Amino acid sequence: MVKHLFLSIALSVGFQLQANIPYVDNLMSKMTLEEKLGQLNLMPAGGIVTGGVIESKTAEDIKSGRLGGIFNIKGRAEIEALQKLAVEKSRLGIPLLVGMDIIHGYETVFPIPLALSCTWDLQGIEESARIAAEEASCVGIGWTFSPMVDICVDARWGRIAEGGGEDPYLGSLIGAAMVRGYQGDLSKPTNIMACVKHFALYGAVEGGRDYNTVDMSRIRMFNQYFPPYEAAVKAGAGSVMSSFNLVDGQHATANKWLQTDLLRNKWKFDGFVVTDYASINEMQVHGFGTVADNSYKALKAGTDMDMCSQGFINHLKSGLENGQVSMADIDQACHRVLEAKYKLGLFDNPYKFFDAKREKKVMYSDANRKVARDLAAESFVLLKNDNNLLPLKKQGTIALIGPLSQTRDNLTGTWSVAQATDKYQTLEEGFRKALKGRATLLCAQGCNITRDEDTQLGAELGKHITRVDAKKAKAEALKIAQQADVVVCAMGECADFSGESSSRVDLNLPDEQMELLQAIAETGKPVVLLNFAGRPTVLDWESQHVNAIMNVWFGGSETPDAVCDVLFGDKCPSGRLTVSMPRATGQQPLYYNHLNTGRPVPYSAPRYQKFASNYIEVRNGALYPFGYGLTYTQFDYSNMRTTVKDDSVTVAVKVTNTGKRDAYEVVQLYIHDVYASIARPVCELKGFQRVFLKAGESKDVTLKLGRDDLSYYDGEGNRVFEPGEFDIMVGKNSRENLVERVMVR
């Protein structure tokens, strides 16, 4: 009967046929309509909410079969009690799907995703997801709302922190690596289901203001924004979350073109689609009819699970009665949700994710912390290092100043909902441990994050930075700066300056911090700035007046140790930017892989040019471009060779470590399609290799470009290869590279 239904759906609307799972078919044959709708209902069960709190009677709803899943509740015992209700007290005993926003680790917190992307270390990134799954899966969680693969080219948007940067090629590799890391073999108790989000284009909200509208050409969607979603889906992600924004004038939650034509029919996605938090309710505010209407539209478009709106559970029954939805639509969604539970092995063992013994062994274990510490160190990007000020010697007197120097919980950044703050160190504690008394350490907070108490944020989510009397704190900081041989400033954003709903219009270091930094620079002492940030920030003044700058983002639970590893030279920096660091906020959106204009002005132009494409106040392009990052040695590129064979190009280059330290270099390969039927970006990343070179060592690095790398998408999403000339660029970043023009036929 059920199979027959699916066959007719497949024939009528061209859906992919569901996997034939007799267990699920059999179960569905016993379910009432209400129980089926219950499976489509997802509600928060803990205290972590990101929208309006919606009344829910969790326990009663579970027992009556009105809830298919719960999310964002922390605690093995609490979750197990709810699972017990579902399994033992509901009529059919269907287990709950338990989700959580495990975005960059559970108790072992890894760097924020933007920082992780700056490692260019795909294996490491995959490992971070595997460890997050390993920890979450013993305390009841089987599903994570990650990876977030939204491309973002506007640093005003706070959620740029949660993604893999501005490049679709790198973003695709990262998305796929994270899916592999979380899911591995899904039947194992140590793996959890991934959820690719936010489908689609959420990173392109106008003005970088969160939840804002999006309007974009199909050419841009396919070439710049869709690739990471597609890659993560093709890596086997079990679920996809739709986004809050419009796509082509339709809400993504009820957009059939997105969810069915593209996601299922073109990309062959065979998992389930969940809405974002209360999206069906919010559609009404956007201007799309009643919650009931929107529930019908969302289901019809391809949404399977309703997060927080309770639109499906409350309205689909009437939709069925008035013919707006069919039983086949409901069955299809229910089947997909049950199939996910089946794939996770929940029907075999609904308690597979409750393992106190394993929790003891793996939670925040030394092994996991070591991976987090290594990845944090890899994620730091050294932007400036005048006269090799870094690495610092562990001697003399060091002053550590700034609002990020004494906080325990801010270093994990946004979306670290399961963090175990008490177990982490402050930067000051990390410094003391690393220095072991070999240098004198003087510390002061020095200032507030911002002068304005209201914009200091933090209080809401509990990530506090103590408020200090600005005048007194500054005087104290300047006093210790005067006594020191070197001053390390831990400044920038606090955790809640980025992440959801944390959009900004000014990307400079906030007032009080800037004033303090300027005063410290005036002392004439050498200054190192550790820039904490969940986004690219403006470091224009700093780049001219501070001796060394290391962008440390939010490095996770092991930040203090990782900072010391790099600052004191036990490790060499190896992070490379995956976002463009602007000269001024007004340059947003800013990205390296932009199209050309008819009146371009080179990045190197010394001044403003009238009637050309540039700004009056600042030169074009990033202050620190995509791919950029220094280390404690230098790399030289020479002897570039390109070989064209049919429609592929082999690129070889000799890379030499000409300095005195062993270190990693990220060899980057870019192309530019010189003439095409649609305008192509001035530069596009198409390959890279992370190579380790000993001091004085040379390596020949070979990278290959296939036909697909030289192709682009047309407006229908088809790959187009056009023979002709291509510039091939290989080097240390998107700006500094060797170039050869080749003809590919």
Q: Which positions lie near ligand BGC, rule CB under 6 A?
A: 50-51, 72, 101, 145, 197, 276-277, 500
Rounded least distance, CB 241 to ligand BGC, Å: 6
| Smallest separation, CB 39 to ligand BGC (Å) | 19
CB of 534 to ligand BGC, least distance (A): 15
The DSSP H or E segment spanning 705 is strand 698-705
Task: Produce one character per residue of 557-577: b if its CB has 16 or more CB atoms within 10 Å, e if not.
Answer: bbbbbbbbbbbbbebbbbbbb
Sign, Cα dihedral of 526, 567, 532, 202 = positive
d(CA 120, CA 653): 19
C-beta closer to ligand BGC: residue 276 or 493: 276
Round to whole Å and give the CA distance between 532 and 411: 8
**C-beta closer to ligand BGC: residue 121 or 500:** 500
Task: Please give the Cα distance from 455 to 567 (Å, whole number).
Answer: 30
Which residue, 25 or 500, has its beta carbon nearer to ligand BGC?
500
Q: Catalytic: which of 101, 276, 355, 673?
A: 276
Strand ranges across the sheet with 663-673: 684-693, 663-673, 724-731, 737-744
Of 414 and 574, nearer to ligand BGC (C-beta) is 414
Location of structure tokens 């260019």: 120
Which residues on adjacent β-strands are paired with residue 685? 670
Work out how close the CB of 606 gets to ligand BGC at its nearest, in angstroms, rounded to a whole number. 44
Which residue, 51, 164, 68, 91, is CA-closest to 500? 51
In the complex, least distance from residue 152 CB atom to ligand BGC, rounded to whole angstroms? 14
As measured in angstroms, the least distance from the Cβ of 501 to ligand BGC is 8
Contact 677, 720 (CB under 8 A): yes
The secondary element (H helix, E strand) that includes residue 229 is helix 227-234
Task: Quote the least distance from Cβ 156 to ligand BGC, whole Å.
Answer: 17
CB of 159 to ligand BGC, least distance (A): 8
Q: How far, in Å, CA of 562 to CA of 694, rounded?
A: 22
Residue with tokens 């906080």: 407
Closest CA to 416 of 132, 179, 181, 177: 132
Nearer to ligand BGC among residue 197 and residue 732 (C-beta): 197
Calpha distance 614→219 (Å, rounded): 25
Q: Edge-to-edge strand order for the sheet containing 648-657?
A: 635-645, 648-657, 698-705
Rounded to the nearest 5°, which phi and psi values hold at 626?
A: -50, 135
Longest alpha-carbon distance in the chain = 82
| Nearest CB to ligand BGC, comparing residues 51 and 627 | 51
Closest approach of Cβ 469 to ligand BGC, in Å?
36
CB-nearer residue toward ligand BGC: 72 or 633: 72
The answer for residues whose C-beta is within 8 angstroms of residue 522's C-beta and 6 or more apart is none
Nearest C-alpha neighbor of 679 from the set 588, 594, 580: 594
Nearer of residues 137 and 580 to ligand BGC, judged by Cβ: 137
Looking at the Cβ atoms of 72 and 426, the one nearer to ligand BGC is 72
Please, which residue, 252 or 490, has the CB nearer to ligand BGC? 252
Among 153, 154, 99, 106, smallest CA distance to 134 is for 106
Asked if 469 is an active-site residue, the reply is no
Distances (CA, A) of 338 to 6, 8, 37: 15, 20, 12
In the complex, what is the shortest distance from the CB of residue 148 to ligand BGC, in angstroms, rounded to a whole number? 7
22: cis peptide before it, omega within 30°? no
- Return the residue matching tokens 């059920």: 2
Q: Which residues are catalytic?
A: 276
